[in-house]
Amino acid sequence: MSAPATLTDFLLAAPELVLLTGACALMIADLYVKDPQREASFIIAMLVLLGCAAATVFVMWGTGGHVAYAFNKLYVADLMAHLLKLCAYLAVAAALVYSRQYLHERGLLKGEFLTLLLFALLGMMVMMSANSFLTLYLGLELLSLCLYAMVALNRDSALSTEAAMKYFVLGALASGLLLYGMSMIYGATGTLTITEVAKQVAALSGKTAERHLLVFGLVFVVSGIAFKLGVVPFHMWIPDVYEGAPTAVTLVIGTAPKLAAFAMAMRLLVNGLLDLAHDWQQMLVVLALLSMALGNITAIAQTNLKRMLAYSTIAHMGFMLLGLLSGVVGGNTYSAGEAYAASMFYTIVYVLMSLGAFGMLLYLSRAGFECETLEDMKGLNRRSPWFAFIMLVLMFSLAGIPPTAGFYAKLAVLSAAVNAGQVWLAAVAVMLSLVGAFYYLRVVKLMYFDEPGDTAPVEGPREMRALLSLNGLAVLGLGILPGSLMSLCYIAIRSL
């Protein structure tokens, strides 16, 4: 029989409790907000995020950076969870600033968007701190259901409704695959707690019959993770959802949930099934290779910027997997810390780059006009030289050109792959990255060398302009001085 929850349990889960309370308060307060700009609701949402950040720092300070368990080991508070949560708060706060004007001009800035966004963040946080299959699945479903609803937010758009239906059906299928895989592993190990699963897997991995059952379940678990990351062949939803959803929602889907998906992969594969690393690393090799190839090659043919960035996401998630598949070499884990830290660093940098890229699309959009096609980027340097430069930095970073953060992130995961003996895979990744550079540099060419279709200067809210500038400069700064963030990632991974 499980022990009742204690005060310590609730203190360790303080960030989630602050967010849950704040999201419920926002939902009620928004009923009385008549201002179409939603000033009060916006401020409440920002204060809730600030409170979550303070609570996370408090828990980190209280535990001294050590691993602590709560609610009968259903929940874990460790450095990896804390760092990913802080990055998620920043991503969600940036999403709020970037999307506010866009949503207001289209009549979509309602309490529903803000509330769904905060509950989606709650789902991400639960996934990041999950130490049980049960907790992980609950967090995943909370996140997924919020995202399905957000994609369908523009009810008058047939494209948005179609995208939401595709996302929902495919998401339900992936959820079923993951649940089936978890049930197989539970059947073999007799426990749902991830740390206990790791002990049982270590004991059973030498027994043929039990190992076959574990590997059978592992196939379905990897499939579920692959869907959430959006890697080939579970990528079918990404281009349609990215294009069909309102750009503000596309920004949300393409950023913070990737941090939660990375945490999910780490919890299940590294924390729980490390003794089956030989099996799941082989699966990730195939997924990474296919994702980098299909993502980079298909993106070349796209004229819609959102679809181009969707295929770019698939390729980038393939690169992120390079770090995950390089941790265990010949049964030893000597280089695991560096490999998984490189993967974590790549995910955080990718989220930062995506925030800037989609933020720029929102900045260039206005009432009655969606900045969605390559044609819309023509001559941006004539209309706004500074923001053309910011977009140039973001495109260079996504392409992996020095001295941007994207270059260092790619270098880190490629180094991990080479150290793991996957030299051929690293060589293929470099070649595919060169192919991918074409469609990013095409955007730069359009901004700087083509005549603008619209000569009107680009206007936008002051806070949005400031944050976009900061975002672009952060991408540049992390490329020049990546050491601090990489060290944080390494310390967080070592704490596992």
Q: Tokens 């952060």, residue?
A: 474
C-alpha R_g of the chain: 22
Length of the chain: 496
Strand pairing category for 75-77 and 68-70: antiparallel
Cβ neighbours for 294, distance < 8 A, ≥ 6 positions apart? 232, 235, 311, 314, 315
- Residue pair 338/416 in contact by the 8 Å Cβ criterion: yes
Which pLDDT band holds residue 451 (cuts at 50, 70, 90)? Answer: confident
Whether 349 shows a pLDDT value over 80: the answer reads yes
DSSP code of 458? P
Amino acid identity for residue 379 in this structure: G
For range 385-394, the mean pLDDT: 92
Long-range contact list for 459-464, CB < 8 A, 24+ apart? 460/101, 460/363, 461/100, 461/101, 463/97, 464/97, 464/98, 464/100, 464/101, 464/359, 464/362, 464/363
For range 401-414, the mean pLDDT: 92
- How far lies 220's CA from each of 135, 174, 227, in Å? 18, 9, 11
For range 54-70, the mean pLDDT: 90
- How far lies 444's CA from each of 354, 378, 437, in Å? 16, 9, 11
Phi–psi pair at 455, nearest 5 degrees: -95, 0
Question: Which pLDDT score is estimated for 379?
Answer: 86
Distance CA 405, CA 349 (A): 7
Q: What is the pLDDT of residues 287-324, one digit of tens each?
A: 999 999 999 999 999 889 999 999 999 999 999 999 88
For range 332-343, the mean pLDDT: 85
Phi–psi pair at 150, nearest 5 degrees: -65, -35
Question: Which pLDDT score is estimated for 35?
Answer: 75
Distance from the Cα of residue 356 to its chain's centroid: 14
- Arithmetic mean of pLDDT over the chain: 90
Q: What is the pLDDT of residues 425-435, one digit of tens each?
A: 999 999 999 99
Q: Which residues pair with 282 in a beta bridge?
A: none
Q: Enter the tokens of residue 389.
A: 């430069």
Q: In 3D, which of 102, 128, 119, 100 has the Cα closest to residue 48? A: 119
Q: In 3D, which of 351, 396, 360 has the Cα closest to residue 257? A: 351
Distance CA 455, CA 380 (A): 9
For range 128-146, the mean pLDDT: 94
Q: What percent of the chain is predicted at pLDDT more than 70?
A: 99
Which pLDDT band holds residue 207 (cuts at 50, 70, 90)? Answer: confident
For range 82-104, the mean pLDDT: 93
Question: Which pLDDT score is estimated for 320?
Answer: 92
Q: What percent of the chain is predicted at pLDDT more than 90?
A: 61
Residue 369, classed as helix, strand or coil, is strand
- Residue pair 42/100 in contact by the 8 Å Cβ criterion: yes
H or E stretch at 68: strand 68-70
Distance CA 53, CA 355 (A): 19
Question: Which pLDDT score is estimated for 2?
Answer: 61
Question: Which pLDDT score is estimated for 406?
Answer: 92
Whether 49 shows a pLDDT value over 90: the answer reads yes
Lowest mean pLDDT among 6-10, 134-138, 403-407: 6-10
Distance CA 360, CA 144 (A): 26
pTM of the model: 0.94
For range 118-138, the mean pLDDT: 94
- Residue pair 125/89 in contact by the 8 Å Cβ criterion: no
Whether 1 shows a pLDDT value over 60: the answer reads no
Whether 205 shows a pLDDT value over 80: the answer reads no
Q: Enter the tokens of residue 436.
A: 């991918």
For range 13-22, the mean pLDDT: 94
Q: What is the pLDDT of residues 255-290, one digit of tens each?
A: 999 999 999 999 999 988 888 888 888 999 999 999
